[in-house]
Amino acid sequence: MRITVYDGKDCIGGNKIYVQIDDKTGFFFDFGNNFSTSDKYFHDYLVERSVGGINTYVELDMIPKLNIYRADLIPADLDVSSFKNVPVQAVLLSHAHADHAGMIGLLREDIAVVASPLSLALLKSFKDTGQTYLGSDFTYFKQRIPSDDDGFVLEPPRNATPVWRPLYATGEADDTFYEFMRASPYARAELPEPDIRSADELPFDVKAIPVDHSIPGAVGFIVEADETIAYTGDFRFHGTHGGDTERFIKEAKKAGVSTLIIEGTRVSRENDHYVSEEDVQQAINAEFSERDGPLFVNFNGNDLDRLRTVAEAAKKNGRTLLITEKLLYKLLAANSAGYSCSLDGIKVLLPFASSTVRAWQKNLRDAYPDLFVTIPDVRNRLEEYVIYLNYYNVKDLADIRPDGGTYVHSASEAFGEEQEFDFVRMSNWLKHYKIEIVGFEMRYDRMLGRERPFFVGNFHASGHASAEEIARTVDVIDPDRLIPVHTLERGWFYERWDGKVKS
């Protein structure tokens, strides 16, 4: 067995970890988008040229030079003859965050995705609701053909029938899940029947065990071949499912893991402030209970546990949580795969927008007509609601027209200068409408010569384990070999397990 970390070694995310079992069998743990690399070249409206297939990714060294990519994404002027041939049957996907799943769509259509039913449903929901970059062809996609005489421009024919890549579910799912996976997001075309199998049918022995993370459906993997390896994915202990992570550790210990591939996002954070999801729940509820006027809240749209926390706090304080249409669709996708979040106390706020309604939106509105309200409906009754407000829909304030209120930031801090500028713009909108900000505050930084956000209060719980928890995980599993990924501090691991750490 040979393990090669093609990406994710000295950065946060972008994991592409290849495991070759023998001459004919191999797989990847995750195949994500490395944002530290992509952010060097792309931002806002400067985006990939999808009509060029994988050319841009190859030119910018964003993907490994391997013969594993879809033939319909290779333009005529891209020479891949020197790309290394490796056997790949599947991607074992730990969870549906883009830094772990965001490049799967580039892979050959015969390369399967192995994931929990929750992750598979979420991936389909992302695709259904409009993610159009090439890497988002996680589950189904329309194959491209040259639209010019030279074969340099690759586009899908308008009426092309989508194709599915093979999907392997790592857990049980009922008919609701399969109904959702079959449902077409198109107005005039049905989706072909998806090819969903049990992970028991894979050509190697895989055990997927749920772990706690900031998106539902996260798993860690234990793979047994000529040796036993374990991969944590991203994990934590302080969310709503910390017991799942404890079980993963016990199972890995019992399996006699020889190689442990482990994340280390937070290992170097000094004076790391520990906040649990229970702490967040208490803080949000206390804040909501003290406010009489308009309430706005921000949280990561993939963190459905946080959505549930906010919805319960809103209901407890006599309010209805208003979310976006895409977020409702995502929640319904998760519920179809066994997630549990009641729609009682949740509605959708429809913004002023184009009259064009996509098929998935029409289906949603037809199925749940009572869940939709418009901005004129709520303008004069803002005290009855908590409105989900993020960087991308903050412009709706110009139509809502609140006179004061409170904004609770229940999402992650800013990472990097670009995100700090996003917070500056967000705070400018809030200040214009005299909305008090809770969860962060803007302060002048003399070293930078500008304002930047400082984060305060117990309004967000990290999606990653602390340094102490990482150390305990390694010590309990006690592998012969340790491969740290998803970290900027491999040195931290060398200091503690020098003889075991491999790059």
Residue 347 has pLDDT above 80, yes or no: yes
CB 87 within 8 A of CB 20: yes
The 10s digit of each residue's pLDDT in 184-219 is 998 888 899 998 999 999 999 999 999 999 999 999
Question: How many of the other CB atoms lie within 10 Å of CB of 496?
Answer: 16
Q: Which of 159, 186, 203 is the last residue of a domain?
A: 203
Q: Which of 203, 222, 256 is the last residue of a domain?
A: 203
User: What whole-number distance in Å separates Cα of residue 319 and Cα of residue 194?
Assistant: 40
Question: How many of the other CB atoms lie within 10 Å of CB of 361?
Answer: 17
Residue 270 has pLDDT above 70, yes or no: no
Q: Say how many domains are in the chain.
A: 3
CA angle, 284 as apex, 282 and 290 as ends, to 5°?
A: 100
Q: Are residues 212 and 337 in the same domain?
A: no
Q: Are residues 96 and 189 in the same domain?
A: yes
CB 129 within 8 A of CB 107: no
Q: Are residues 503 and 419 in the same domain?
A: no
CB 438 within 8 A of CB 407: yes
Q: Are residues 194 and 316 in the same domain?
A: no
Predicted pLDDT of residue 445: 82
Question: Using alpha carbons only, how large is the chain's radius of gyration in Å?
Answer: 23
Alpha-helix residue ranges (DSSP H) falling in 350-416: 359-367, 375-378, 397-400
Q: Which domain holds residue 466?
A: 204-271+462-503
E strand map for 70-218: 90-92, 112-115, 140-141, 145-146, 154-155, 163-164, 167-169, 196-198, 205-210
Q: Are residues 210 and 79 in the same domain?
A: no
Predicted pLDDT of residue 415: 75
The 10s digit of each residue's pLDDT in 74-132 is 999 999 999 999 999 999 999 999 999 999 999 999 999 999 999 999 999 999 998 67
Reading the block at residue 329, the tokens are: 């669709």
CA atoms within 13 A on the CB side of 341: 27
Residue 279 has pLDDT above 60, yes or no: yes
Q: Indicate the SS3 state at residue 468.
A: helix
Q: Are residues 252 and 105 in the same domain?
A: no
Residue 355 has pLDDT above 90, yes or no: no
Q: Are residues 284 and 357 in the same domain?
A: yes
Q: Which residues contact 363 (CB under 8 A, 6 or more apart)?
A: 183
Q: What is the pTM of this model?
A: 0.95
DSSP annotation of 453 reads E
Predicted pLDDT of residue 290: 94
User: What whole-number distance in Å separates Cα of residue 107 and Cα of residue 102?
Assistant: 11
DSSP annotation of 213 reads -
Q: Which of 176, 203, 230 is the last residue of a domain?
A: 203
Q: Among all chains, which residue has been given the structure tokens 């994404």?
A: 73
Q: Are residues 438 and 481 in the same domain?
A: no
DSSP annotation of 338 reads T
Mean pLDDT of 441-466: 85
CATH number at residue 486: 3.60.15.10
The 10s digit of each residue's pLDDT in 444-454 is 888 878 888 88
Q: Are residues 41 and 99 in the same domain?
A: yes
CA distances from 335 to 81, 272, 417, 463 (A): 45, 33, 36, 21
Reading the block at residue 248, the tokens are: 């993963």
Say if residue 482 is exposed, middle or buried (CB neighbours under 10 Å; 0-12, 13-18, 19+). Answer: buried
pLDDT band at 456 (very low <50, low <70, confident <90, very high): confident
Predicted pLDDT of residue 312: 96
Reading the block at residue 231, the tokens are: 């991969």
User: What whole-number distance in Å separates Cα of residue 121 and Cα of residue 430?
Assistant: 35
DSSP annotation of 151 reads S
Residue 269 has pLDDT above 70, yes or no: no
CB 143 within 8 A of CB 72: yes
Q: Are residues 325 and 448 in the same domain?
A: yes
Residue 271 has pLDDT above 80, yes or no: no
Q: What are phi and psi of 446, to 5 degrees?
A: -65, -35
Q: Which of 285, 312, 296 is nearest to 385 (CA)?
A: 296
Q: Which of 482, 478, 497, 469 is nearest to 253 (CA)?
A: 478
Q: Are residues 394 and 466 in the same domain?
A: no
Predicted pLDDT of residue 454: 83
Strand 145-146 relative to strand 154-155, pairing: antiparallel
Angle subtended by helix axes 467-477 and 490-497, to nearest 10:
50
The 10s digit of each residue's pLDDT in 383-411 is 999 999 999 999 999 999 999 999 999 99
Average pLDDT in the chain: 94
Q: Are residues 265 and 312 in the same domain?
A: no
CATH number at residue 303: 3.40.50.10710
